[in-house]
């Protein structure tokens, strides 16, 4: 499994490792004290988005942080990116993150934004596998516990059964 993260502040700083670039990041998966939910094989991507949202907020609360709120426009942008990755229209990456941030800035003022992406295949609980991977990756974990108050999550599944996840975090004044 490969996972990427990106943080956007005044200038875009790109931390990029992906299968496209040929870097394989193996993660040790330590399970945080999160509630798990059995995942049905045919669970909708919207249901997986909600599970990711709830588990990220469980993790934030376990770190004595306020939960983030789900924002419809940010979710729309995250879904679009996940769909494009799942369809192979863009590589598994942060391609277009700057454009997603520009689209967010039209809808609301922001002070910072970051993005986590992941993909996986063949897991009973793909949402938990993704969350565990993010928690155990310093860059992704930093985004999860960052000074953000809004989020959007998109999950897409391709014809091979691979899940693609995008979570965008935004800090508004």
CA dihedral 39, 41, 42, 47 (to 10 degrees): 20
Asked if residue 158 has pLDDT above 60, the reply is yes
**What are 17's two structure tokens?**
């490792």
Asked if residue 26 has pLDDT above 60, the reply is no
d(CA 71, CA 68): 9
Interval 79-104: pLDDT, tens: 999 999 999 999 887 888 898 999 99
- Which one, of 131, 69, 142, 73, lies nearest residue 106 by Cα? 73
Asked if residue 17 has pLDDT above 70, the reply is no
Question: In the chain, what are the domain boundaries?
Answer: 3-29+41-171
This prediction's pTM: 0.77
- pLDDT-derived band at 12, boundaries 50, 70, 90: very low
pLDDT of residue 85: 94
Interval 30-61: pLDDT, tens: 434 444 445 546 789 999 999 999 999 999 99
- DSSP secondary-structure letter at 32? P
d(CA 88, CA 131): 23
Q: What percent of the chain has pLDDT over 90?
A: 66
User: Which fold does the domain 3-29+41-171 belong to in CATH?
Assistant: Pathogenesis-related Protein p14a (3.40.33)
Average pLDDT of span 117-121: 91
Average pLDDT of span 147-162: 96
């Amino acid at each position: 499994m490969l996972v990427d993260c990106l943080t956007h502040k005044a200038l875009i700083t790109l931390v990029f490792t992906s299968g496209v670039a040929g870097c394989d990041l193996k993660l040790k998966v330590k399970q945080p004290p999160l509630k798990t939910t059995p995942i049905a094989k045919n669970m909708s991507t919207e249901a997986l988005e909600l599970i990711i949202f709830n588990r990220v907020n469980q993790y934030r609360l376990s770190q004595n942080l306020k939960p983030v709120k789900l924002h419809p426009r940010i979710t729309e942008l995250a879904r679009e990116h996940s769909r494009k990755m799942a369809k192979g229209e863009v590589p598994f990456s942060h391609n277009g993150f700057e454009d997603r941030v520009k689209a967010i800035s039209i809808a609301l003022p922001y002070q910072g934004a970051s993005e986590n992406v992941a993909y996986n295949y063949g897991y009973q609980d793909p949402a938990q596998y993704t969350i565990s991977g993010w928690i155990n990756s310093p860059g992704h974990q930093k985004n999860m516990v960052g000074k953000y108050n809004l989020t959007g999550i998109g999950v897409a599944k391709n014809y091979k059964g691979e899940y693609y996840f995008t979570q965008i975090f935004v800090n508004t004044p």
